[in-house]
């Protein structure tokens, strides 16, 4: 457990920056950067109430909270569409019998990668243009008490416009017991720490909802506060995620960058995810070169090199935590439903987890038959699937 102390003098005064962040098994280290003393971008003007996002599902208060904003799931129209599968898109519709319905894991790509970056650090802002140039969606976990760095709002607004996700990493990046390693003064309650962050994301940054959380330090003590707010929490334990399976949605494992890796190190993990048909969530902190190497800095070329490697494989789905996670949990919900057959028609009915984002789909294949939702026949996609709307909650299949 070590922390590196940087002192940075700015026009506004002296800022004490403590390095490091989300410790996992691989990276036991504390803290995050913060300002000492009230400077620009403190907590001015943000209140815990009045988020613009709508709560259309769930709405269960956090376990410890009396003032939870509930689920800020946004609306279906703002959901990001699944990417197009490779191929000409001219595969014929199946014409056999109504047998062998199967959900395509990872939207038909076979494996998935999510690039996550924590703490909305200055070096991420400085390197956003290079990340954006790769043309893939990513997830950034924000601590909006860090808005002192130039370009904070415009960078993350641009990331949202590009399709990337801003997730909640609490306002001040403190421990769940409201002690802080970083000279930061926490808000009065954990509920406020979470909700003020979400409000910043929906109001100031303008994202339509806030769907996923990353516990500071990976602390599971945050978990009771997440029920009724988020459908996924990214933890910091090492591992990958299988389709279906029993992985805890409120403690998703990661592949953490320790700092200094070449692209080949990440490429190897991508190969493993692909071979095993799994979802790998990369966790990065500082991006080099930078004068703000707070924790586990990795050269930008290693990150973009690994993205290029994954893209070049052609069958790896690279997307945000909310997008891949909705597919993963949607498949799990669908497969947990026991189909009922009556008069030759088979019906699946499922319920989605609390705070599940609207507007998401599964891709399924069959030998034949007619699939319908809400009385509407599903249309075959020549890339090899029918798209099943998870929001509909049921699917029927007739010969
Ligand atoms: Zn962090």
Q: Is the pLDDT of residue 16 over 60?
A: no
Note the pLDDT of residue 262: 98
Q: What is the mean pLDDT of residues 93-116?
A: 96
Q: Which long-range contacts (CB under 8 A, 24 or more apart) does 186-190 make?
A: 187/43, 189/64, 189/65, 190/64, 190/65, 190/222, 190/225
Q: Which residues pair with 370 in a beta bridge?
A: 398
| pLDDT for res 50 | 32
Q: What is the spatial distance between Cα 90 and Cα 59, in angstroms, rounded to a whole number?
A: 43
pLDDT tier at 146, thresholds 50, 70, 90: confident
Q: What is the pTM of this model?
A: 0.86
Cross-strand partners of 13: 10
- Mean pLDDT over 157-168 rounds to 98
The residues, any chain, with a CB within 8 Å of residue 115's CB and separated by 6 or more, are 131, 136, 138, 139, 282, 284, 303, 307, 318
pLDDT at 189 over 90: yes
Q: In DSSP terms, which residues pair with 284 in a beta bridge?
A: 117
Check the CA dihedral 299-304-310-316 and report its sign: positive
- Per-residue pLDDT averaged across 384-393, rounded? 98
Cβ neighbours for 84, distance < 8 A, ≥ 6 positions apart: 383
pLDDT at residue 67, rounded to an integer: 67
User: Would the CA dihedral through 228, 232, 237, 243 be positive or negative?
Assistant: positive
Give the per-residue pLDDT at 183: 83
pLDDT tens digit sequence for 337-388: 999 999 999 999 999 999 999 999 999 999 999 999 999 999 999 999 999 9
* Residue 38: predicted pLDDT: 29
Structural domains for the chain:
5-74+109-322 (3.20.20.370), 81-107+324-398 (no CATH)
The whole-number pLDDT of residue 131 equals 98
Using the mean position of ligand 1's atoms as its centre, give its distance from the Cα of residue 143 in Å.
8
Strands 298-299 and 287-288, sheet pairing: parallel
Q: What is the mean pLDDT of residues 243-250?
A: 94
Q: State residue 56's pLDDT score.
A: 35
- When pLDDT is averaged across residues 133-157 and rounded to a whole number, the result is 96
Burial of 179 (C-beta count, 10 Å sphere; 0-12/13-18/19+) = exposed
| Region 271-298 average pLDDT | 98
pLDDT of 68 reads 84
**Are the C-beta atoms of residues 76 and 359 closer than 8 Å to each other?**
yes
Q: What's the pLDDT at 194?
A: 98
d(CA 318, CA 105): 14
Q: How far apart (Å, rounded) are the C-alpha atoms in residues 201 and 148? A: 16
Question: How many residues are given for the chain?
Answer: 399
Which residues have CB less than 5 Å away from ligand 1 (the ion)?
Answer: 21-22, 118-119
Distance from residue 310's CA to the centre of ligand 1 (Å): 25
Q: How far is the CA of 167 from the centre of ligand 1 (A)?
A: 11
Q: Ligand 1 centre and the CA of 277: distance in Å?
A: 28
Cα-to-centroid distance, 17 and ligand 1 (Å):
14
352-391: b (≥16 Cβ within 10 Å) or e: bbbbbbbbbbbbbbbeebebbbeeeebebbeebbbbbbbb
Give the residue with greater pLDDT, 62 vs 321: 321
| Ramachandran region, residue 270 (left: φ > 0; alpha: ψ -120 to 50; beta: rest) | alpha
Eight-state DSSP code of residue 63: T
Quick check: 46 pLDDT over 50?
A: no
pLDDT at 89: 96
Q: What is the pLDDT of residue 272?
A: 98
pLDDT tens for each residue of 195-220: 999 999 999 999 999 999 999 999 99
How far apart (Å, rounded) are the C-alpha atoms in residues 295 and 301? 17
Distance 346 CA to ligand 1 centre (A): 46
Rounded CA gap, 295 and 292, in Å?
Answer: 9
Q: How far is the CA of 61 from the centre of ligand 1 (A)?
A: 24
């Amino acid at each position: 457990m070590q922390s590196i102390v940087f002192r940075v003098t700015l026009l506004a005064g002296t800022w004490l920056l403590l390095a490091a962040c989300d410790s996992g098994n691989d990276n036991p280290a504390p803290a995050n950067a913060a300002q000492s003393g009230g400077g620009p971008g403190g907590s001015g003007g943000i209140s815990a109430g009045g988020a613009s996002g709508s709560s259309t599902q769930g709405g269960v208060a956090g376990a410890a909270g009396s003032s939870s904003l509930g689920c800020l799931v946004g609306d279906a129209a703002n959901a990001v569409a699944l990417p197009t599968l490779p191929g000409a898109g001219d595969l014929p519709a199946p014409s056999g019998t109504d047998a062998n319905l199967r959900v395509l894991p990872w939207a038909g790509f076979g494996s998935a990668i999510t690039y996550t970056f924590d703490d909305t650090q200055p070096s991420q802002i400085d390197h956003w243009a290079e990340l954006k140039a790769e043309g893939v969606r990513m997830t950034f976990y924000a601590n909006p008490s860090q808005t002192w760095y130039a370009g904070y709002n415009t960078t993350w607004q641009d990331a949202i416009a590009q399709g990337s996700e801003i997730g909640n990493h609490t306002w001040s990046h403190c421990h769940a017991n409201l002690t802080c390693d970083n000279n930061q003064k926490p808000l009065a309650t954990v509920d406020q720490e979470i909700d003020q962050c979400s409000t910043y994301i929906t109001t100031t940054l303008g994202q339509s909802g806030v769907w996923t959380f990353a516990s500071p330090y990976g602390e599971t003590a945050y978990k009771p506060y997440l029920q009724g707010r988020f459908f996924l929490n990214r933890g910091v334990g090492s591992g990958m995620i299988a389709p279906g399976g029993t992985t805890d949605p409120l403690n998703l494992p990661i592949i953490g960058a320790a700092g200094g890796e070449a692209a080949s190190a990440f490429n190897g993990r991508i190969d493993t995810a692909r071979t095993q048909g799994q979802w790998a969530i990369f966790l990065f902190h500082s991006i080099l070169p930078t004068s703000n190497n707070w924790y586990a800095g990795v050269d930008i070329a290693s990150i973009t090199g690994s993205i290029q490697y994954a893209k070049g494989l052609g069958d790896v789905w690279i997307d945000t935590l909310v997008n891949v996670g909705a597919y993963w949990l949607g498949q799990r919900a669908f497969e947990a439903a026991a189909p009922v057959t009556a008069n030759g028609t088979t019906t699946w009915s499922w319920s989605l987890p609390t705070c599940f984002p609207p507007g998401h789909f599964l891709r399924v294949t069959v030998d034949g038959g007619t699939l319908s939702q809400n009385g509407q026949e599903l249309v075959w996609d020549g890339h090899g699937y029918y798209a099943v709307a998870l929001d509909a909650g049921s699917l029927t299949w007739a010969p």
